[in-house]
Amino acid sequence: MNPYLDLLRDILDNGVEKGDRTGTGTLSVFGRQYRHDLAAGFPLLTTKKLHFRSIANELLWFLRGDTNTRWLKDNGVSIWDEWATESGDLGPIYGAQWTAWPTDDGPVNQIDYVVETLRNNPDSRRILFHGWNVGFLPDEAMTPQDNVRAGRMALPPCHLLYQFYVAGGRLSSQLYIRSSDSFLGLPYNTASLALLTHLLAQQCDLQPGEIIVTTGDSHIYLNHLEQVRTQLAREPRPLPTLHLRRRPATIYDYSFEDFEVRGYDPHPPIPAPVAV
């Protein structure tokens, strides 16, 4: 994942200092892109250990259409706790928009549309889904919890547009991230995109191709600068591989036990505070 590490160097070298919603402050650049061929390995960072259980179970949670942290907690994931209400609610965030986008004619499952189109019209230029539903975006003047109580999202989607492309029997995907916490969040988003691409490829009788990550505001929080420098001083190691142990009936029927990551030998994790 050298392109990701190059992005961190780019932000350190060229980023401008900007304020942000959390009050932490960032170094920021705008409009970046990197790509990775999944035939070269599964993109779990090796310069610091990532918690694959959180990455995988969060994606499965999105695909369930779930917006409460209860299932995540039951499956060993706490990454959404800071934004949830006392009962674990997060409002109509990612999963709700992915699988039940509200329309006058009833909810639309965008994931079903993607799977159906990949199977029946793989040359379509409309194979995409997104989560930027302006009717449910939060009020930035309110806390995440108060937004949820008002029927809005706890946070607006950061990874908001996914598009898919088939050529030569290979499925490639591109993700647009409007706001990218490049030290903590971006490695998770990259691995999650890769995992989703593997699942869709298996369900649609395709081979995993390339993933492309495009970012808008790409930033490093000012309280992550030392952690970034520590990571960049480490030598990358070979990427692991992902193996799917079975092919369930639908994309909604995977479980964490279906995924096997082989050969993951990363450097130790690098703790850093989450900007809330």
Hey, which residues are catalytic here? 158
Q: Which residues are annotated as a binding site?
A: 21, 51, 125-126, 178-181, 189, 219-221, 275
d(CA 212, CA 176): 9
Q: Which residues are annotated as a binding site for dUMP?
A: 21, 125-126, 178-181, 189, 219-221
Walk across the sheet containing 26-37 and list its strands: 16-18, 26-37, 207-221, 170-181, 159-167, 128-130
Residue (of 272, 264, 59) closest to 183 by Cα position: 272
222-250: burial string, b at 16+ Cβ within 10 Å, e else: eebbebbeebeebeeeebbbbeeeeeeee
Q: For strand 16-18 and strand 259-262, is the pairing parallel, antiparallel, or unpaired?
A: unpaired
Say whether 37 sits in a helix, a strand or coil: strand
Residue 21 CB contacts under 8 Å (≥ 6 apart), including other chains: 140
Which phi and psi (to 5°) does residue 166 adopt?
-115, 130
